[in-house]
Chains A and B, each alone.
Chain A
Amino acid sequence: MEDNTVSANESNLLEKEIPLEFTGKASEYFGIWIVNVLLTIITLGIYAPWAKVRNKRYFYGNTLLENSPFDFIANPVTILKGYLLALGFYVLFSVSSNFYPLSGFFFLFLFLVIFPWIVVRSMSFRLANTTYRNIRFHFERDYGESYKIFLGIGLLIPLTLGFIFPYYHYRQMKFVADKSSFGTSRFGFDTKVANFYIIYVIVWGVFVGIGVVTAIVMGVIFAKNPEMAALMQGPAEGQEIDPEQQKAFFTFIAIIYAVFAVLYIGVFAYMQAALNNLLWNNLSIAKQRFRSTLTTPMMLWLYMTNSICIILSFGLLIPWARIRMMRYRVSCLTVLSEGDLDGFIAGEKSKLSAAGEEIGEVFGLDIGI
């Protein structure tokens, strides 16, 4: 008995809980967002990198860990170069695939081949420009490993009918986490592949369940109302459509769509919550671990209300929706730290300003973490 109490106390003493805090305000962010949108439109997109940096600085700067903010220090000109490269690719792709539809396959192939490179570039750029307490994050540019995972294992997905996908996702997450560091301290990601399979089996199960239930419901409804089945087939030659029946039919279809939309967002919310928790709860750095407690009902509620409010406000509530989502995500994250956060050492200077940043964040891709 006594031994247990002592060890519990000990671990409490060793591990301190440091919650993350988010101090962004929708009213303040609205001004930043609308000016970003306006200047991006007026400059035909040239302002977009500046908008991106201001946007990220607002979110990072309002995310506090032990009262210290994060910061994003990227040079917008570097991002602009990456955007122009992506734009060139997009124009080339749209023009040629419209004049020669078959060339679309070539571009798809090309994209598959350069995708692992883009992932490494984007991660490296993003982390190298993220700082906390004047220390940069860092991403090791391991192109070989990236090609092995994204191209090698990626190509096995269709061959295994998708059953390898959870493993693929596991390797992706592990790759991104293991190659990341803060100063000289490496992040580590340690979990079993089985945890990914559990999440995906649940998702697959829900989809199969939805299919079976829909088939049964449709079967019952059509068996009881043969005229509805007839409407589903379309009107026969010369047959007049009864407007009452048509109305009932469209209401029925609308309800089906609404149910599907909620289920779809629900599955999406579950995946977001489960995968995020899985990542953070198994991530560690130096003497720090993390705890993430996102829940599916809350994510579902946020996704649904955000989507509805954005549509009804013609987009004007986008800033509010983003702040709301970020506040929830941050509120669910806690750092479990043995000792304080003063012990991190900056990496080598030469490594930080590594060459080749000129291509910046190609495609502005936001992946994973």
Chain B
Amino acid sequence: MKPVSAIRYDGQSSASQSVQLTFFPDSTVEVKGEGLSVIYRLEEISIPSQVGSIHARIQFPDDSLCEVRDPRALYDALPDTFKTGLLGHVHRWESSLKYALFAVVIAAAIIWGGVEFVLPSAAKQVAENIPLEWETAMGEQTLASLEKTNLLTPTELPQQRQEALLKKFNEALRKAGATPLPRIEFRNSEALDANAIALPSGILVFTDAMVEFAKDDRELIGILGHELGHIKHRHSMRHVLQSSTLALFIIMITGDVGSAGTLATAMPLILAEAKFSRQFEAEADTFSVGFMKKLDLDTRYLSSILQRLGKKYGDSGTTGYLDSHPSTRDRVKSLAGG
């Protein structure tokens, strides 16, 4: 029954008083100081779970409070049944180097597994259960805003060429059993140059430069298969789901004290988004291989145009962590393998 030193504040003013706390076997505690001696029952007092080695806080029913600078001494003096409140499991876990290192490993494993497997497959499940028609407004408004900002301007391809291509595309799509037929649009774009994009709700946009860049229309069928892959695998919806969930998690984990700097918190999101994008591109390439096989087309048509596009835009040959697409070499390799 060694007394524990504490500092008492009566809750009325900021003046302090040194006191001694004595814990008795009958579950009572005496607070004793100059001109003060009060006895409380232990079930009346509350002690929040210990954090690090900061002061222990004992709150009494009369709004007075005792701060104990040596939480260890308080822990030793408390009867066994009241100890768990003070030094809970969490505190014990936090204080052990061994457990902390264990926590690092587990947290890293969960984050890796979550970003690599759980999040993508959960997003896939959800996306596949959302009807494509729900994206209609999203697709229309995205196209409209791309046009409004002049990223896409009206096509300058001759009417004849457009019709011939559309006919070829639709024939291929029907033959491969890709119904309902996606909406295919031709647009001119200085910013995107030779490119094709799949917008939400299944709007496919081929740029004029892309159509002109192809040496053979069968190459464009390969590109069509790739973009169709984005639609069939619901990549725009999955992208939205994955990014917003991940952003929420990063805010939740880092948001408590915002001193880490914005770059450090934005970095993981940027890396993860690039990774998701590469996964989608690879998936779309695989889809295109199947699409071309159904049409009895050689996948080399797709490889060939991808290689030339890579050369034109100075592809580095290796896939980096920040790249939105796998490197052309990796893509061509997996096209040949598939």
Chain A contact residues, CB within 8 Å of chain B: 24-25, 28-32, 34-42, 45, 48, 51-52, 54-59, 61-62, 68-69, 71, 73, 87, 90, 94, 98-102, 132-135, 183, 235, 241, 246, 303, 306-307, 310-311, 315-316, 318, 321-322, 325-326, 341-346, 349, 364, 366
Between B55, B134, B141, B256, the greatest number of chain A beta carbons within 10 A of the residue's beta carbon is seen for: B256
Partner of A40, one of B12, B53, B65, B252: B252
Partner of A322, one of B55, B96, B142, B260: B260
- Interface range on chain B (Cβ under 8 Å from partner): 35 or more
| Majority secondary structure, A binding face | helix
Indicate if the CB atoms of A100 and B51 lie closer than 8 Å.
no
Interface residues of B in 128-142 (CB under 8 A from A): 134-135, 137-138, 141-142
- Say if the beta carbon of B52 comes within 8 Å of chain A: yes
Nearest-CB residue, chain B, relative to A103: B137
Indicate if the CB atoms of A55 and B257 lie closer than 8 Å.
yes
Within 8 Å CB of B252, what residues of A? Answer: 40, 45, 48
Task: Looking at the assembled complex, report how far the CB atom of B40 sits from the nearest CB atom of chain A, in whole angstroms.
Answer: 16
Chain B contact residues, CB within 8 Å of chain A: 7, 9-16, 48-49, 51-55, 57, 63-65, 67, 90, 93-97, 99-100, 103-104, 106-107, 110-111, 114, 134-135, 137-138, 141-142, 145, 240, 244, 248-249, 252-261, 263-264, 267-268, 312, 314
Compute how far the CA of A291 lies from the CA of B104 in the bound complex, rounded to whole angstroms: 40
Compute how far the CA of A51 lies from the CA of B51 in the bound complex, rounded to whole angstroms: 11
Compute how far the CA of A316 lies from the CA of B104 in the bound complex, rounded to whole angstroms: 9
Indicate if the CB atoms of A31 and B264 lie closer than 8 Å.
no
Indicate if the CB atoms of B138 and A98 lie closer than 8 Å.
yes
Indicate if the CB atoms of A99 and B137 lie closer than 8 Å.
yes
Given A40-B252, A51-B256, does the pair A311, B13 have CB atoms closer than 8 Å? no
Indicate if the CB atoms of B263 and A311 lie closer than 8 Å.
yes
Given A35-B93, A133-B14, A344-B14, does the pair A62, B9 have CB atoms closer than 8 Å? no
Indicate if the CB atoms of A32 and B12 lie closer than 8 Å.
no
Compute how far the CA of A13 lies from the CA of B99 in the bound complex, rounded to whole angstroms: 52
Nearest-CB residue, chain A, relative to B141: A101
Compute how far the CA of A241 lies from the CA of B111 in the bound complex, rounded to whole angstroms: 40
Indicate if the CB atoms of B54 and A346 lie closer than 8 Å.
no
Partner of A90, one of B13, B107, B248: B248
Between A32, A51, A59, A316, the greatest number of chain B beta carbons within 10 A of the residue's beta carbon is seen for: A32
Task: Looking at the assembled complex, report how far the CB atom of B242 sits from the nearest CB atom of chain A, in whole angstroms.
Answer: 12
Given A58-B52, A99-B135, A99-B137, does the pair A346, B12 have CB atoms closer than 8 Å? yes
Partner of A41, one of B110, B240, B264: B110
Partner of A325, one of B57, B104, B138, B259: B259
Given A68-B16, A71-B57, does the pair A134, B65 have CB atoms closer than 8 Å? yes
Given contacts A37-B103, A61-B54, 16 further A-B contacts (CB under 8 A): A30-B100, A34-B100, A38-B107, A38-B110, A41-B107, A52-B256, A55-B256, A68-B16, A100-B137, A134-B10, A134-B14, A246-B314, A315-B264, A344-B13, A345-B12, A364-B256
Given A28-B53, A57-B51, A134-B64, does the pair A343, B13 have CB atoms closer than 8 Å? yes
Nearest-CB residue, chain A, relative to B134: A99
Partner of B94, one of A35, A132, A321: A35
Indicate if the CB atoms of A306 and B261 lie closer than 8 Å.
yes
Indicate if the CB atoms of A303 and B64 lie closer than 8 Å.
no
Within 8 Å CB of A349, what residues of B? Answer: 63
Within 8 Å CB of A318, what residues of B? Answer: 254, 260, 264
Partner of B106, one of A38, A73, A322, A366: A38
Indicate if the CB atoms of A61 and B55 lie closer than 8 Å.
yes
Compute how far the CA of A87 lies from the CA of B114 in the bound complex, rounded to whole angstroms: 20
Given A101-B141, A321-B259, does the pair A61, B52 have CB atoms closer than 8 Å? yes
Compute how far the CA of A308 lies from the CA of B155 in the bound complex, rounded to whole angstroms: 47
Within 8 Å CB of B259, what residues of A? Answer: 306, 321-322, 325-326
Within 8 Å CB of B54, what residues of A? Answer: 57-58, 61-62, 69
Compute how far the CA of A310 lies from the CA of B14 in the bound complex, rounded to whole angstroms: 40
**12 CB < 8 A contacts A-B:** A31-B100, A48-B252, A54-B49, A61-B51, A62-B54, A134-B10, A134-B63, A134-B64, A135-B11, A235-B314, A318-B260, A322-B257
Within 8 Å CB of A55, what residues of B? Answer: 256-257
Given A71-B57, A100-B137, A241-B314, does the pair A38, B240 have CB atoms closer than 8 Å? no
Compute how far the CA of A32 lies from the CA of B64 in the bound complex, rounded to whole angstroms: 28
Task: Looking at the assembled complex, report how far the CB atom of A17 sits from the nearest CB atom of chain B, in whole angstroms.
Answer: 19
Shortest beta-carbon contacts, A-B, top 7:
A61-B54, A134-B9, A344-B14, A31-B94, A342-B15, A134-B65, A310-B264
Indicate if the CB atoms of A31 and B96 lie closer than 8 Å.
yes
Given A94-B240, A344-B14, does the pair A307, B97 have CB atoms closer than 8 Å? no
Task: Looking at the assembled complex, report how far the CB atom of A337 sits from the nearest CB atom of chain B, in whole angstroms.
Answer: 12
Task: Looking at the assembled complex, report how far the CB atom of B257 sits from the nearest CB atom of chain A, in whole angstroms.
Answer: 6
Compute how far the CA of A180 lies from the CA of B106 in the bound complex, rounded to whole angstroms: 42
Within 8 Å CB of B12, what residues of A? Answer: 345-346
Given A31-B95, A38-B106, A69-B67, does the pair A321, B260 have CB atoms closer than 8 Å? yes
Task: Looking at the assembled complex, report how far the CB atom of B324 sits from the nearest CB atom of chain A, in whole angstroms.
Answer: 17
Within 8 Å CB of A68, what residues of B? Answer: 7, 16, 67
Indicate if the CB atoms of A132 and B138 lie closer than 8 Å.
no
Task: Looking at the assembled complex, report how far the CB atom of A88 sits from the nearest CB atom of chain B, in whole angstroms.
Answer: 12
Partner of B249, one of A45, A59, A241, A346: A45
Nearest-CB residue, chain B, relative to A49: B256
